[in-house]
């Protein structure tokens, strides 16, 4: 294949539509999907009936043919998409944002017909998540209808959207050194403030729906028969417990312990400042101990990830 001429942008040149579409593809890094988490969400109508509504938003739709490039499409306001009632058997319908460019598929006339439109493929297999090969479009939802159904409720809608280029943000915060403090002696009690002031504050982006969170406590001293655990507390979320378990050791030893998790972020959690802290607690009345000091560090590493809402 020869180079498409002229390159973007050259004064005096005539640029084919494909050159612009390839620029969209390059800027989108070859990805397709909705732009942000709430874009083009499929819901039931205000009064549920034989239709669904597709909300505001925009998307990138990659052409099914190599060299076709990618299309941008915007929707303003709710678009109503009819869904045919079922008879005596269940049925699944796939709702797409489809682009039918007559240069590559179909016979639509761009001067008089919609080239980008919401399209329903009826009676697809119940596990369908993508359009058939060769069709340019992105999946928005699957409607799984029971027999004799003429009313689409939200419970019948499976969201199939994905974000073309989800945002990610990382916050790394460290606490270097603590006042000397031994792990309290009670067993079966999570110490909410040990290590002392072992907490940071995180600004949770409003767009974040998932996260990867790690806490590393390094330079903690242990001795004797030590058996304790650590876990993270983030707002009202409690993470998985991780254990330090040693047989009786004669000398004091410095160790590291890590706690990690991948919590989903509920709507009330987003767009707010949330306290993230480490908690620790003893198990089984172990006789050994642990302490923190100026040589101990606590590192919180939080990655926020955007997903559909």
**Domain check: are 109 and 209 in the same one?**
no
Q: Residues 99-103: contacts with CB within 8 Å, 24+ apart?
A: 99/61, 99/63, 99/71, 99/73, 99/136, 99/137, 100/136, 101/63, 101/68, 101/71, 101/136, 103/68
> For the residues 186-195, what does the mean pLDDT come to?
91
Q: Which residues form the domain of 193?
A: 168-306
**Domain check: are 205 and 245 in the same one?**
yes
* Element (DSSP H or E) covering residue 222: strand 208-223
Provide the β-strand partners of residue 34: 59, 163
Given a cut of 60, whether residue 1 has pLDDT beyond it is no
Cis-peptide, bond into residue 9, ω within 30° of zero: yes
**Domain check: are 136 and 194 in the same one?**
no
pLDDT at 252: 83
Joined tokens for residue 84: 């045919």
Q: Look at residue 4 and tell me if it is in a domain.
A: no
pTM of the model as a whole: 0.86
Joined tokens for residue 92: 């699944």
The total domain count for the chain is 2
pLDDT at 285: 76
Bigger pLDDT: 134 vs 9: 134
Domain end position, chosen among 159, 181, 210:
159
Q: What is the pLDDT of residues 59-97, one digit of tens each?
A: 999 999 989 999 999 999 999 999 999 999 999 999 999
Q: What is the pLDDT of residues 257-309, one digit of tens each?
A: 999 999 999 999 999 999 999 999 998 877 788 999 999 999 999 999 999 99
**Domain check: are 124 and 187 in the same one?**
no
Give the CB-side neighbour count of residue 62, counting CA atoms within 13 A. 17
Domain end position, chosen among 130, 159, 188:
159
Q: Annotate 156-192 with three-state secondary structure.
A: HEEECCCECCCCEEEEEEEEECCCCEECCCCECCCEC
């Amino acid at each position: 294949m020869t180079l498409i001429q002229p390159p973007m942008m050259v004064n005096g040149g005539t640029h084919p539509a494909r050159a612009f579409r390839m620029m969209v593809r390059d800027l989108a890094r070859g990805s397709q999907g909705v732009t942000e988490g709430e874009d083009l969400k499929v819901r039931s109508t205000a009064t549920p009936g034989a239709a669904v509504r597709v909300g505001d938003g925009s998307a990138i739709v990659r052409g099914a043919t190599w060299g076709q490039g990618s299309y941008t499409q915007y929707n303003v306001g709710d678009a109503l998409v009819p869904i045919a009632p079922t008879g005596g058997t269940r049925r699944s319908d796939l709702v797409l944002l489809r682009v039918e460019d007559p240069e590559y598929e179909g016979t639509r006339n761009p001067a008089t017909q919609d080239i980008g439109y919401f399209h329903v493929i009826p009676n697809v297999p119940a596990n369908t998540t993508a359009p058939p090969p060769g069709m340019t479009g992105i999946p928005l939802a699957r409607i799984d209808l029971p027999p004799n159904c003429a009313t689409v409720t939200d419970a019948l809608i499976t969201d199939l959207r994905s974000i073309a280029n989800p945002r990610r943000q990382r916050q790394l915060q460290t606490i270097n050194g603590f006042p000397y403090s031994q792990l309290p002696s009670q067993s079966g009690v999570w110490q909410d403030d040990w290590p002392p002031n072992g907490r940071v504050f995180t600004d949770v982006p409003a767009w974040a729906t998932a996260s990867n969170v790690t806490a590393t406590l390094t330079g903690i001293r242990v001795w004797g028969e030590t058996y304790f655990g650590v876990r993270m507390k983030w707002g009202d979320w409690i993470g998985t417990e991780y254990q330090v378990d040693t047989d009786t050791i004669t000398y004091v030893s410095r160790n590291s312990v890590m706690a990690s998790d991948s919590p989903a972020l509920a709507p009330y959690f987003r767009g707010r400042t949330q306290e993230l802290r480490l908690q620790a607690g003893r198990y089984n009345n172990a006789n050994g101990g642990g302490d923190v000091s100026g040589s101990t560090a606590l590192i919180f590493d939080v990655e926020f990830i955007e997903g559909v809402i």
